[in-house]
Amino acid sequence: MFTFPLLLTIYAGFTHAFEADHLLAVSNIVSRRDRLWHSVKDGIYWGLGHSSTIIVIGILMILFKVAITEHSFHYFEALVGLMLIILAIYRLYQFTRDKKIVIHSHDHSHLEGAHKHLHVHIADEHNHQHKHTLAYGVGLVHGLAGSGVLIIAAMSQIKSPIQGIWYLVIFCIGCILGMLVAAGLFSVPFSKKLISAPLLQAVLIIITSALCFLYGGKVIYENLFI
């Protein structure tokens, strides 16, 4: 008989998906989508990748008694920060590659005379990839962040190793559900059905990438230099 409440564990996993670094990563990933379903699948794959890492580390620590020091988890966290920076740079590169920015002028006649007006157009070049490898890979690395605290908590509260692994599995189910919801919510501003202004979408992509970059730098600083 399990000694931990099922719903409470799922809830803990669900809320875990809404931590700042997770949300920044998933918002950066789904900004390339224009359909809700593709974004939701990104969230599912992110959750699966995140869960894979937690389960593997949990099996090593709980079942095979592999000792991973607390200091090692600081390096894991720093690696997540580096991944956020790389993700931000890659997203901006992908955006500039997939978009064609056209700047031109038009002549307009007014009562005062003719004037030239500058126009900026952002057009799609090619963005038809529906693979979710990036989301899964980001989830794999993200599973390193906080996994130590989670697994140590499982080891201290659960009596048997099998119960500890089940605790992690149920936690991960909640995390996948949470990221599914988060990905769906964050995809709404980037949906072409809701926003027809490419310039506004471009601004949102730049903002999410910049926040992802800055937060990644903050994580690296806190775990390597403090």
106-146: pLDDT as tens digits: 555 555 555 555 555 555 544 545 689 999 999 999 998 87
50 domain-assigned = yes
Q: Is residue 115 one of the residues assigned to a domain?
A: no
In this structure, is residue 113 part of a structural domain? no
The answer as to whether 117 is a domain residue is no
Q: Mean pLDDT for the chain?
A: 82
Please, is 93 exposed, middle or buried when counting C-beta atoms within 10 Å of its C-beta (0-12, 13-18, 19+)? exposed
Region 23-41 average pLDDT: 89
User: Structurally, how many domains does the chain consist of?
Assistant: 1
- Answer whether residue 103 is part of any domain: no
Instruction: Evaluate whether residue 112 is within a structural domain.
Output: no
Length of the chain: 226
Q: Report how far residue 217's alpha carbon sits from residue 222's, in angstroms, rounded to the nearest whole number.
A: 9
Q: Tell whether 118 is covered by a domain.
A: no
Q: Which of 42-56, 69-83, 92-106, 203-217 has the lowest mean pLDDT?
A: 92-106
Residue 122: inside a domain: no
pLDDT value for 198: 72
Q: What is the pLDDT of residue 96?
A: 85
pLDDT, residue 51, reads: 94
Q: Residue 54's domain spans which residues?
A: 6-97+133-224
Helix 36-58 and helix 147-157, axial crossing angle in degrees, nearest 10: 60
pTM assigned to the model: 0.83
Indicate the DSSP class of residue 34: S
Classify residue 43 as exposed, middle or buried by CB count within 10 Å of its CB (0-12, 13-18, 19+).
buried
Distance CA 70, CA 57 (A): 13
